[in-house]
Structure 1
Amino acid sequence: MPERFFLYDETESTKTRYISFMGEHQRFDLALIQTDRYFGKRLVLDIQGSRFAIIGQDDLEESGYLEHAFNLTEEEAAELRDFLCEVI
């Protein structure tokens, strides 16, 4: 078996917030992971939808970002964006 070439292999303590809320169009079950990586952005995991994205304030302002990352309609993304603007 060939030797693996690691780009990095590090362990880090993180802070994770699990939250579930019901919007007008969809239920959201999320894990928000705060880490020292990714320049202050958060890992946002959609547990039910099996999708994730690295999100910061600039990403929330980018048109179509949440729709694409989480496969949401404009209305569903607006609900998620409103919530994430409060916590990111």
Structure 2
Amino acid sequence: MSNETFFLYDHKEDTKTRFVSFMGESNRYDLAITITNNFYGKKMVVNLQTNRAAIIGQDDLKEEGYIEHAFAVSEEEAEELLEFLYTII
């Protein structure tokens, strides 16, 4: 790293991460859900199979097409994810 690196922020925080694996009708999901103070009450959800991540709150779950776009999944797969995410977010 050069001496001229300009950080927007650089801090450490203790977080809590839950690892969940479950089977839907058409797919297996391996997720890491991280709780942090960094995202204004939202959780960081990472699909460990595809390395796609999203910062998700209740408002995002209600936004049409958000899960499909964030995780690059079909509408059917998004419904399976939403069913689970509603229980934890």
TM-score normalised by L of structure 1: 0.97
Cα root mean square deviation, aligned: 0.8
Query: Once the 2 structures are TM-superposed, how far is the Cα of residue 76 of structure 1 from its aligned partner?
Result: 0.3
CA distance in 2, matches of 1:24, 1:62: 23
Percent of aligned pairs with the same residue?
Answer: 57
Structure 2 unaligned runs (5+)? none
CA distance in 1, matches of 2:68, 2:60: 11
Equivalence for 2:26: 25
List 4+ stretches of structure 1 deviating above 2 A.
Answer: none
Structure 1 unaligned runs (5+)? none
Across the two proteins, how many residue pairs are aligned to each other?
88
Equivalence for 1:3: 4
Query: Once the 2 structures are TM-superposed, how far is the Cα of residue 59 of structure 1 from its aligned partner?
Result: 0.3
CA distance in 2, matches of 1:32, 1:73: 21
Equivalence for 2:72: 71
TM-score normalised by L of structure 2: 0.96
Could you say what secondary structure the match of 1:31 adopts? strand
